[in-house]
């Protein structure tokens, strides 16, 4: 498994996929191998295959919460890229149950907007702007966060 991590870190994606396939032949539901293969598939723009690998990890309740959260994030991102907005919303719904991170709501807003469901998109964007729950610190403000605030301001103004 350590060799698989090295291959992923070195961006030797074809070899990482080959090695993950070997691991998965013996242990078909190994989360680590599926996540590594999914990352390599995504790097090679094999997005549907990557989505399937990440979905397999996310859907397996025997996997750790950390692995499942990583996988749900990857599923949401890939589904949005592929225009599979309903798939993204399912993954984001799972994430919102355990994370109050603004990026979950931001991506929900994108998915709802793409589906033409503007009231749900507005609600998601409003959730994105709520302060962190008491006792939790906001750990970083990224350019994406700044853009999302500007975009959410547009939503607020456009509703009036």
**CATH number where 24 lies:** 1.25.40.10
Task: Assign 140 a pLDDT band (cuts: 50, 70, 90).
Answer: very low
Q: CA-CA distance, 106 to 110, in Å (whole number)?
A: 6
Both 2 and 78 in one domain: the answer is yes
- pTM as predicted: 0.78
Percent of the chain with pLDDT over 70: 81
The answer to whether position 42 is within a domain reads yes
The answer to whether position 4 is within a domain reads yes
Both 5 and 72 in one domain: the answer is yes
The answer to whether position 95 is within a domain reads no
User: Tens digit of pLDDT for each residue in 49-62?
Assistant: 999 999 999 999 99
The answer to whether position 88 is within a domain reads no
Identify the domain boundary among 49, 83, 117: 83
User: What's residue 142's pLDDT?
Assistant: 45
Task: Assign 151 a pLDDT band (cuts: 50, 70, 90).
Answer: very low
The answer to whether position 141 is within a domain reads yes
Interacting residues of 108 by C-beta distance below 8 A, sequence separation 6+ = 89, 92, 96, 120, 121, 124, 127
Q: What is the DSSP string of 3-49?
A: HHHHHHHTT-HHHHHHHHHHHHHHSTT-HHHHHHHHHHHHHTT-HHH
Identify the domain boundary among 34, 58, 83: 83
The answer to whether position 26 is within a domain reads yes
* Contact (CB, 8 A) for 90 and 73: no
Both 116 and 153 in one domain: the answer is yes
Both 16 and 68 in one domain: the answer is yes
Q: Exposed, middle or buried by CB within 10 Å (0-12, 13-18, 19+), for 43?
A: middle
Provide the domain limits for residue 45. 1-83
User: What's residue 133's pLDDT?
Assistant: 55
Both 61 and 136 in one domain: the answer is no
The answer to whether position 90 is within a domain reads no
User: What's residue 23's pLDDT?
Assistant: 94
User: Tens digit of pLDDT for each residue in 90-130?
Assistant: 999 999 888 878 889 999 999 999 999 998 888 888 887 76
Distance of CA 80 to the CA centre of its chain: 9
Percent of the chain with pLDDT over 90: 61
The answer to whether position 94 is within a domain reads no
**Into how many domains does the chain fold?**
2
Span 27-39, mean pLDDT? 93
Highest mean pLDDT among 24-28, 81-85, 94-98, 137-141: 81-85
């Amino acid at each position: 498994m350590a060799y698989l991590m090295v291959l992923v870190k070195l961006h030797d994606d074809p070899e990482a996929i080959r090695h993950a396939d070997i691991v998965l032949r013996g242990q078909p539901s190994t989360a680590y191998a599926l996540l590594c293969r999914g990352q390599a598939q995504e790097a090679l723009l094999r997005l549907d295959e990557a989505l399937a690998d990440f979905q397999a990890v996310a859907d397996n309740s025997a996997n750790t919460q950390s692995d499942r959260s990583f996988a749900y994030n990857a599923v949401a991102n890939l589904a949005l890229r592929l225009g599979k907005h309903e798939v993204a919303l399912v993954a984001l719904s799972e994430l919102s149950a355990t994370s109050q991170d603004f990026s979950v709501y931001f991506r929900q807003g994108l998915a709802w907007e793409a589906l033409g469901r503007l009231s749900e998109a507005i609600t998601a964007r409003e959730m994105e702007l709520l302060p962190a729950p008491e006792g939790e610190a906001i750990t970083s403000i990224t350019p994406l966060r700044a853009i999302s605030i500007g975009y959410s301001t547009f939503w607020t103004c456009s509703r009036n």
